[in-house]
Amino acid sequence: MAVMIKSAREIQLMREAGKILASVHEELGDFIKPGVSTKEIDALGEKLIRSHGCIPSFLNYEGYPASICVSVNDEVVHGIPKADRVLKDGDIVSLDAGVIYEGYHSDAARTHLVGTCSAEAKKLVEVTRQCFFEGIKFAVEGRHLFEISAAIGAYAESFGYGVVKDLVGHGVGKQLHEDPQIPNFKQRRRGMKLRAGMTLAIEPMINAGGFEVVWLDDDWTVVTEDGSLSAHYENTILITEGEPEILSLSI
């Protein structure tokens, strides 16, 4: 499938989708505290998404049973919300959410600190967020896709962190997952040339320890192989001739 260039109308709908998703993440962030179950986070997320006239894109996606992926500590992504999984002081929790607004998707993730966290946990969360911003320095028309990948990977590795290789970022728009795939580490080639009007989900997944991950028996939850903490940060962005527009982040 060719990488699509979105029309002005499509971009406007994706701006709306992104704005809604940013507000959902802000409200979910305010809700995070010790004692909250991952199921309660999902329930609030679904309610917020629907209250804005959107559809939660993850719900039933390839059988995924919830609206928000809630991944705690060594869980990298795709944690399944559960009533008996209760957040405790010192945990970190990654929330990944997707919305469909008027047929267009936005996809974003944040990792939150629960109560008082270790210095190591705080640093991992902050570096993972910064990986996204290091990557999008290259998200400009005329640069090459894998310059983004290399910048993310180099920044994470400069802290000795493991960059997850089994999951990647992606194009986003009419579908949740469109071409191209966007790895978070250096590639042998420079990749396709970026053009204004491309919409991409850039999503570093970074482990405090080794890069290896394994899938739990639920066939969804991805965890670090060595049990180390993992963080995730993602936004839907629009490539332009200048700075990229971060569609799923409110300023």
Positions touching Co ion (CB under 5 A) are 107, 201, 203
Choose between 23 and 175: whose C-beta lies nearer to Co ion.
175
Residue 38 Cβ vs Co ion, minimum distance, rounded to whole Å: 19
* Secondary structure class of 126 (helix, strand, coil): helix
Q: Which is nearer to Co ion, 112 or 232 (CB)?
A: 232
H/E element, 11: helix 8-31
Distance in Å, CB of 177 to Co ion, minimum: 7
User: Closest approach of Cβ 97 to Co ion, in Å?
Assistant: 10
State the minimum distance, in angstroms, from the CB of residue 234 to Co ion: 5
Distance in Å, CB of 201 to Co ion, minimum:
4
Closer residue to Co ion, CB minimum distance, 117 or 203: 203
Please tell me whether residue 104 adopts helix, strand or coil conformation. strand
Residue showing tokens 């802290």: 159
Query: Which residues make beta-bridge pairs with 107?
Result: 98
146 close to 186: Cβ distance less than 8 angstroms: yes
Burial of 40 (0-12, 13-18, 19+ CB in 10 A): middle
Q: What is the separation of C-alpha 190 from the centre of its chain, rounded to a whole number of angstroms?
A: 23
Smallest distance from the beta carbon of 90 to Co ion, in angstroms? 27
Token readout for 26 is 């802000």
Q: Report strand pairing: 92-101 vs 55-56.
A: antiparallel
| Chain centre to alpha carbon of residue 129 | 10
Nearer to Co ion, 224 or 248 (CB): 248
Measured from the CB atom, the residue of 107 and 178 that comes closer to Co ion is 107
The H or E element spanning position 199 is strand 199-202
Shortest Cβ distance from residue 227 to Co ion (Å)? 24
Choose between 117 and 149: whose C-beta lies nearer to Co ion.
149
Q: Which is nearer to Co ion, 145 or 201 (CB)?
A: 201
Q: Which two tokens stand for residue 34?
A: 């010790």
Which of 85, 32, 21 lies closest to 221, judged by CA?
A: 85
Q: Which residue is associated with the tokens 């992926």?
A: 69
Q: Given the structure tokens 């629960």, which residue do they identify?
A: 114
